[in-house]
Amino acid sequence: MNYQLIRSKRKTLSLQINNNAELVVRAPNRLSVNKIEQFIDEKSNWIKKKSQSSQSNILKKPSYIEGEKFLYLGSEYSLSVNTTHGKKLGFDGQVFSFNAGGKQEFLAWYKAAFKKIALPRLEYYAKKYHLNYSQVRLKNQKTLWGSCSGTNNINLNYLLIMAPMSVIDYVIVHELCHTIHKNHSKDFWHLVEQIFPNYKADKSWLKKNGHKLQNL
Ligand SMILES: [Zn+2]
């Protein structure tokens, strides 16, 4: 059985089936491969079951054809492909449309939408709670929704514009709180909660649905 092994200072073994239906094994630094594989053996039924259900969860990449659905602010909207539109992707509040195109057109549209809709939220929270950041950059990195550097430069993943507004707000508040606390300490989460009391629901939404925002 193929698996990805991640060793660390942890004390116990853990198995996880990731969003790509691959087995990820987390193990203590010094535990022998024999012991690890014995454990995998013991859990083979669980692994089989999990990876089958994960496989059926793997999203099909879009083909950018008529009627396909695309996320924006947590809702799905159909794509219309018709010759009366230019190549540039448009959105009228109900339907996405272009005459031809694909991933690049959607990336450009999502980035522009993030600038218009989400960046003012960053301004709003920064001003209201006196959380000063230096610069903000928009990125599109797999697995990373936001980050805040030691010099308080904030990176935000513009694909977040596909998520509900409260999830976007949560990530923004999360990164702004890192301008004060450079870690995920109790104090950090306390500050997040003060500003954004319902953050736990949005945090778990992102954990559960994040892969859908990467499916372009
Ligand atoms: Zn963080």
- 157 with 141: CB under 8 angstroms? yes
Q: Are residues 132 and 179 in the same domain?
A: yes
Distance 183 CA to ligand 1 centre (A): 7
Distance 131 CA to ligand 1 centre (A): 15
Distance 126 CA to ligand 1 centre (A): 16
Q: Are residues 90 and 145 in the same domain?
A: no
Q: Are residues 33 and 120 in the same domain?
A: no
Q: Are residues 210 and 159 in the same domain?
A: yes
Distance 195 CA to ligand 1 centre (A): 15
List the CATH number of the domain containing 146: 3.30.2010.10
Q: Are residues 206 and 117 in the same domain?
A: yes
Give the per-residue pLDDT at 189. Answer: 97
Give the per-residue pLDDT at 27. Answer: 95
Q: Say whether pLDDT at 7 is over 80.
A: yes
Q: Are residues 87 and 139 in the same domain?
A: no
Strand 23-28 and strand 4-8: the pairing is parallel
Give the per-residue pLDDT at 116. Answer: 98
pTM: 0.77
Q: Are residues 166 and 203 in the same domain?
A: yes
Whether 60 is covered by a domain: the verdict is no
Segments forming the whole domain that contains residue 35: 4-55
Distance 144 CA to ligand 1 centre (A): 10
Whether 64 is covered by a domain: the verdict is no
Whether 203 is covered by a domain: the verdict is yes
Distance 109 CA to ligand 1 centre (A): 27
- Please count the structural domains in the chain: 3
Distance 130 CA to ligand 1 centre (A): 18
Q: Are residues 96 and 142 in the same domain?
A: no
Q: Are residues 125 and 140 in the same domain?
A: yes
pLDDT, averaged across the chain:
93
Whether 189 is covered by a domain: the verdict is yes
Segment 90-100 shows an average pLDDT of 93
Q: Say whether pLDDT at 197 is over 90.
A: yes
**Torsion angle (degrees, nearest 10) of CA 118, 120, 122, 126:** -170
Give the per-residue pLDDT at 179. Answer: 97
Sign of CA dihedral 129, 131, 135, 139: negative
Q: Are residues 128 and 202 in the same domain?
A: yes
